[in-house]
Structure 1
Amino acid sequence: MQVTIPHYYPGFHCIADHCSDTCCAGWAIMIDDASMKKYRAQTDLLGRKLLNGIDWKKGCFKQSHGRCAFLNEMNLCDMYTDGGPSMLCKTCREYPRHTEEYEGVRELSLSMSCEEAARLILGLKEPVRFLTKEDDREETYPEFDFFLYSKLMDVREEIFSLLQNRNREISLRAAMILGLGHDLQKRIRDGKLYQTEELIVRYRQAGCEEFFRMKSREYTAPHGERYIRMNNWFSLFDKLEVLSQEWPAYIGELKILLFEQGPDQYGKKREEFYEYIETVPERKREWSQWLEQLLVYFVYTYFCGAVYDEHPYVKVKMAVICTILIEELALAIYIRHPGCLSFDDFTRLVHRFSREIEHSDVNLNTLENSFRTEEVYGLKEILRVL
C-alpha cells in the first residue's frame, strides 16, 4: 500500500473552542457502522444521550437549529467530554482529514472546509511537496484501470510542476493546465492514451508557454464582457444544495456588491482591486501564492478521481473555475471594505466556499455536470476570464 500526504499534513491541530466556526454544525454528520454498533451497546448516562441524540434510521446525529445534538454552548463536544476520544465516530475522529482511495494507494489531505486547515494551507510560502511511504499491504480493485490511473498520475505531476513555476504569472499557469487537461481528454476520447508522455513533453517546451501567453492575450475579455460572463457564472450558486442557512444571504450580498451597479462600476472596482494587489510587491506575491495553493489543493484532491469516470478535463475545470469564483468573491469583500483584503478575510472566504461546495456530493456532481456539458465553461470561455 502506498500512502501520500502533502508535507503540511502533520502540522494540523484542531483549535477546538478557539475556532471562530465549528465543524459540528451546518451539515449532517453520518455515523459509520462500527460506531453505530458501539453506540447501541452503551447503557450508561452517555448511552441515554446517544439514544436521544442519534437519528437511528438515517444513521446520523440529530441537529438542533443546524447544530449537532452533542455540540454544547461552548462549541465543545459533550460526547468527547463524557466518553473521551474513543467515542467519536469515524467522521468526527478524522475530519478535516480526507482520504481518496485507489487500488493500492491512499491519498490523504486536509479539507479547506475547516478554517484552521485553510489557514495552514493558504499560509504556506513554499510550494507544496508530496510525501509518499509504502508498506507490505496489497489489495485489488475489480475493474480498476491501472493504465489510466498511471497516466493520470503522470499528468498530475506535470500539472503540479506547471502550477508551481513561480516565474510565470498565475493566470498563465492556470491557462496551461486547462490546455493540458483538454488535450489529455481528447486522447482519452480518441483511444490514444499511449500518447500521454509525448503530450507532457510538449508542455515542457518553451514554445508552449509562449503559445498560451499569446492565447491569453488574444482571449482576455474587456470588463463589460467579463461582467456578463461572471454574472452568468454566479447563477451556478442557485443550482446548488444549501448546507448553511446563512450561505444564500452571504452570496446574495457579495453578488450585489459585484454586479448591482453595472459593468462600468464593476470594471472600475476590479481595476482598483488589482492596483491594490499589484502595487505592493509582497502583497502581489502573497496573492499569487494563495491562488497557487488553491489550484494545487483542488487538483490534488480531485484530478485522479478521473480514473473512475474518465473526465480529467472536468477535474481541471473544477480547480480553475472554483479558484476564479473565489477570486471574484474576494473582489466583493474588497469592495465591502475598500483598501483591504487581509489573510484572515481570504481564509474565511475559502473556508465558507469549501464547506458549502465540498461537503455535498450533490453540489460536486452538479458542478462537474455543468462544467462537462455547458458551453459557457468551454476552454475559450474560461480563458476569457482568467
Structure 2
Amino acid sequence: MLVRIPDYFDQFACLAGACPHSCCIGWEVVLDEDTVRRYQQLPGALGERLRDAMALDGEDVCFPLDGRRCPFLNQENLCDIHCALGPEATSVTCQEHPRFIEDYGPFQEITLSAACPKANELLLGTRDPLTFSERQDNQPTEDGDEWLDWLVPLRDRLLDLLRDRSRPLKARLRDFLLITGEAQQLFDSENMAELAAFCTGSLAISAETDAGSGSWEAAACRCLQDLEILEPDWLALLKQWEQAPELPSFAPQDPEKLERIAVYFAFRYLLKAVNDGDLLGRAQFCALGVLVTDRLSRFVGLPEALRLFSREIEHNEENLDTLLEQFWQTEGLSLSALLAAFGG
C-alpha cells in the first residue's frame, strides 16, 4: 500500500517521561478488544492490576483516570505496562498516538497530531515549506471511493497554492476558500465531468463574493467556548481572547509557520470529504484553524496556541462535527465572513 507522511515524520520520537504535556494525563485510555483479551489472560500481579483498573464507559472498555492521570502512569511519568511488557503490550490507542491514520483504500495517510509537544516542535521548528513523501508497505489495498479521483489532484493543487510564497498568505488562504467553494458547487450540482476538469485543469478563481457580515472573532470565540472543554487552560485562554480588543484584519506575525499550519490542516482534512461530501466545510475548518491559532498566539505563542487548539478540536469528534455544522449555521463563521477576514 502507498503511504503518505509529512517530511518530518521519521524524526519523531516520543519524549516519554520528559514530555511537558503527557498524553497519559487528562485522557482516558480506550482499550481495543485484542488488548482487553490479552489483559484478561495476563498472569501475576500486573495482570490483576490491569483487570482491576478496566471499566466500561458506554460500549468501550477503558482505564478511568486517577487524579487526571492514567492509573499506569508512574511517578516518573512512564507507563508501567510499557516498562514491564514492552510497547507492543499497550493498547492500539497508545501505540498509534500521536499518529492520525487515515485509510482510503488504495493508500493510507499518516499525520502527527500537533497536540503532541514533540510533533508540534517538528511542525513549527522550521519555516521551510511543509512537504509530504510517499513510501510502500506490505499492507493489502482495497478499492477507493471514486471521489478520490478528483479530490486528490484538487488537494495537491491547493497545497501548492498554499505554499506559493510569491503571494501574501492571506491572499492564498482567500483563494483556497474560493476554489473549494467553486468545487463544492460543482459537486452539489452533480456535474462530475465539469468537476473532474476543474480539479485537474487550471484552477479558475471567481472574485465575486457576498460581503461578510459580523465578526469572525466574536463568532469563533463564542462557538469554541460552547464546545466541550477538555483543559481549563483552554477555557482561560478563550476568556482572555474574548476580553481583548479585536484586530482589524489578518496580519500574521509569522506567515511561514502559519503556512505550515494551513498545509498541515489541508493535508489532514480535505480528503475526509469522501465521507460526507462536505469539502467546503473542511476548507473553512482549515482556514479557521489558521485564524484562531494566529489570534491566540498573541497571548501564549504559536506552538502553545496550536497545541491547545489541536487537543481540544482534533481529538474530539463531537467538537469537530459541531464546528462543521456551525460553518453553515453561524453568519460569523460563514464563507463570506472568513473571506472578509482575509480581505475579500
- Give the structure-2-normalised TM-score: 0.90
Check if 1:127 corresponds to 2:136: no
| AA at the equivalent of 1:167 | S
Q: Which residue of structure 1 aligns with residue 178 of structure 2?
A: 179
Aligned to 1:71, the other structure's residue is in SS state coil
Q: Secondary structure at the match of 1:357?
A: helix
Contact 1:27–1:359 (Cα < 8 Å) also in 2? no
Preserved CA contact (<8 Å) 1:27 1:244: no
Deviation for aligned residue 1:52: 2.2
**Corresponding position of 1:280:** none
2:240 aligned residue:
253
CA distance in 2, matches of 1:85, 1:135: 21
For 1:316, the aligned partner's letter is A
Q: Determine which of 314, 320, 325 is the counterpart of 1:364.
A: 320
Q: Which residue of 1 aligns with 2:165?
A: 166
Classify the secondary structure of the residue corresponding to 1:64: coil
Partners of 1:137 and 1:90 in 2: CA distance:
17
Distance 1:379 1:43 in 2: 57
1:239 paired residue among 206, 226, 232: 226
Distance 1:96 1:122 in 2: 16
**Cα distance between partner residues in 1 of 2:189 and 2:331:** 21
CA deviation profile, 1:132-179 (whole Å, cap 9, x unmatched): 2345754446xx632x11100011001101000011111011001101
For 1:67, what is the secondary structure of its paired residue?
coil
Determine the C-alpha separation between the residues in 2 that align with 1:149 and 1:23. Answer: 33
Match of 2:42 in 1: 42
Contact 2:2 2:106 in 1 (8 A): yes
2:262 to 286, 295, 308: 295
- Aligned-pair identity (%): 27
Contact 1:185–1:311 (8 Å) recurs in 2: yes
2:340 matched residue in structure 1: 384
Preserved contact between residue 273 and residue 279 of structure 2 (Cα < 8 Å): yes
AA aligned to 2:8 is: Y
Superposed counterparts of 1:1-386, under 5 Å: 1-56=1-56, 58-134=60-136, 138-140=140-142, 145-146=145-146, 148-200=147-199, 201-203=201-203, 208=205, 228-256=215-243, 258-259=244-245, 266-267=246-247, 287-333=254-300, 345-386=301-342
Which 4+ residue blocks in structure 1 deviate beyond 6 angstroms? none
The question of whether the paired residues in 2 share the 8 Å contact of 1:255 and 1:332 is answered with: no
Q: Any gaps of 5 or more consecutive residues in structure 2?
A: none
Q: Residue 163 of structure 1 contacts residue 295 of structure 1 at CA under 8 Å; is this kept in 2?
A: yes
Instruction: Give the aligned CA root-mean-square deviation in angstroms.
Output: 2.4
Cα shift readout 1:11-31 (whole Å, capped 9, x = no counterpart): 111111222111111222211
Shift of residue 234, structure 1, vs aligned partner: 0.8
Shift of 1:308: 1.2
Task: State the Cα deviation string for residues 230-275 of structure 1 (Å, max 9, x = none).
Answer: 122211112211222443233223332x24xxxxxx45xx79x95x
Q: Which range moved further: 117-126 or 192-201?
A: 192-201
C-alpha distance after superposition, 1:258-300 (max 9, x if no partner):
24xxxxxx45xx79x95xx7xxxxxx6xx11111111111111
Structure holding more helix per residue:
1
> One-letter code of the match for 1:188?
F
TM-score, reference length from structure 1: 0.81
Q: Measure, in 1, the Cα distance between the counterparts of 2:66 and 2:186.
A: 50
| Matched letter for residue 319 of structure 2 | N
CA gap 1:325/1:303 in 2 versus in 1, 3 angstroms: same
Contact 2:100 2:110 in 1 (8 A): yes
What letter is aligned with 1:359? H
How has the CA–CA distance of structure 1 residues 134 and 79 changed in structure 2, closer, same or farther, with 3 Å as cutoff?
A: closer
Cα deviation, residue 375, structure 1: 3.1
Map Cα deviations across residues 205-231 of structure 1 (whole Å, 9 max, x no partner): 7xx5xx75xx79x96x8xxx87x4412
Q: Letter of the 2:227 partner, please give it.
A: L
- The secondary structure found in structure 1 opposite 2:74 is coil
Is the contact between residue 293 and residue 305 of structure 2 (CA under 8 Å) also seen in structure 1? yes
Q: Distance in 1 between matches of 2:75 and 2:140?
A: 46
Indicate conservation of the 8 Å contact 2:237/2:296, yes or no. no
Match of 1:262 in 2: none
Q: How many residues align?
A: 339
79-88 or 177-186, larger mean C-alpha shift: 79-88
Q: Distance in 1 between matches of 2:73 and 2:310?
A: 22
C-alpha deviations, 1:313-365, integer Å up to 9, x for none? 111001001111111111344xxxxxxxxxxx321221111001111111111
